[in-house]
Amino acid sequence: MNNLFLIYGSDINKSLKYLAELKAKFSEKNSDLNIVNLAPPLVADELAKHATSIGLFCDKRLAIAKNIINETTADILNTYIPILEKTPETNFVVFFENANIKNSNSKFVNFLKKNSCVKHFEKNEIDTSKKIFELPELIYNKNPQAFFLLDDLLKKGNDPNLILGIIANTTRQLAQIVNCPENNPWEISLNTKVPYFITKKLINLKHKISFESILQIFQKLCCYDFSIKSGKIEPRLAITMLVGEMITNIE
């Protein structure tokens, strides 16, 4: 059935983005008045009213049932099945959950998985919480692996703006470390308030990069940030160009 959709998963941003794209595509040829949002508790009669009824002029309709599955008992969910089986091609029904489905093997969920377009968006916790923080250190050490890691992070859906922010934050911390007269990681951490584990990782760069060079990098970061926000350059291209310039120009 091409008019049923199931959207769910832990990555709420990607789920909302996909839902927005569906609504925008529907609105291209249909009135926004034909879009209805359904919330729990949702009885079968209410779903049938929006899913199976046909307009006087056969206008298409879009019903978005938000967070119904996780908030509704299995018995009630099962009453939706015969209604959805009778949904005309002019009507579209979207079941949207802003989390993973609690009972993913229920009769109703299996029906949706078999008869609808399913979009499951999961956060990539490993990439976001670990690998992404390795990138600035690779850049400042002029390690070519930075390009491969950046490419991998972007392919897996990590936000270029998030990556830019992490590089900027590391640059700020490195500036504090380089500008600090002490050489002992503990003393630097106490004086700069940069966490010790970060100071320990960046201490080897203290005598490899000048404070003036870091200021130049800050200027580049600001320029690329402005270009992205003003729409002058695509974010993925901007972060790739920035990393290239940093690796080749760091002194």
The per-residue pLDDT for range 20-41, each reduced to its tens digit, is 999 999 999 888 889 999 999 9
Q: State the average pLDDT over residues 180-185.
A: 86
The per-residue pLDDT for range 142-171, each reduced to its tens digit, is 888 999 999 888 887 778 888 899 999 999
pLDDT at 141: 85
pLDDT at 127: 45
Please give the share of the chain, as a percent, with pLDDT higher than 70. Answer: 94
At 193, is the secondary structure helix, strand, or coil?
coil
Asked if pLDDT for residue 79 goes beyond 90, the answer is: yes
C-alpha–C-alpha distance, residues 232 and 251, integer Å: 28
Asked if pLDDT for residue 57 goes beyond 60, the answer is: no
Direct distance between the N- and C-terminal alpha carbons of the chain, in angstroms, rounded to an integer:
60
pLDDT at 55: 59
Asked if pLDDT for residue 190 goes beyond 60, the answer is: yes
pLDDT at 58: 56
Q: Which residue has the tokens 């729990």?
A: 40
pLDDT at 155: 80
At 44, is the secondary structure helix, strand, or coil?
helix
Q: State the average pLDDT over residues 6-32.
A: 92
CA distances from 110 to 105, 116, 171, 223 (A): 6, 10, 49, 50
The per-residue pLDDT for range 89-128, each reduced to its tens digit, is 899 999 999 999 988 889 999 999 999 999 999 876 544 5
Q: What is the pTM of this model?
A: 0.52
Kindly list the structural domains of the chain, giving each domain's residue range(s) and its CATH number in brackets, ordered by start: 4-120 (3.40.50.300), 125-249 (1.20.272.10)
